[in-house]
Amino acid sequence: MKVIPYRAVGTGPGSSGGPIVDRDAQVRGMVFAGKAGGNVGVAVPTKGIRRALRRADTPVDHGNCG
């Protein structure tokens, strides 16, 4: 999966799940990691999020749960 590296003031712990928005106010991704105090983070592009959501109801073989 591709990721979007970005730099932004205030990026760090607690930013996960937040949107990455472009100049036209369009959501381009969702933050999933950031460096504490580093103003650097990584986001999943919206295309990857949509792809994961389409598979979210796909059964997963989990074997015997006891």
> Which is nearest to 35 in space by CA: 4, 8, 61, 66?
8
Where b means 16+ CB within 10 Å and e means fewer, 1-10 reads: eeebebeeee
* Model pLDDT, residue 64: 84
Whether the model clears a pTM of 0.75, i.e. scores above it, the answer is no
65: Cα separation from own chain's centroid: 30
Tokens of 40: 């650097």
Full pLDDT tens readout for the chain, 66 residues: 688 777 777 777 788 898 989 899 999 999 888 777 777 888 899 998 998 898 888 888 888 877
* Model pLDDT, residue 28: 92
* Model pLDDT, residue 45: 92
> Which is nearest to 3 in space by CA: 29, 38, 35?
29
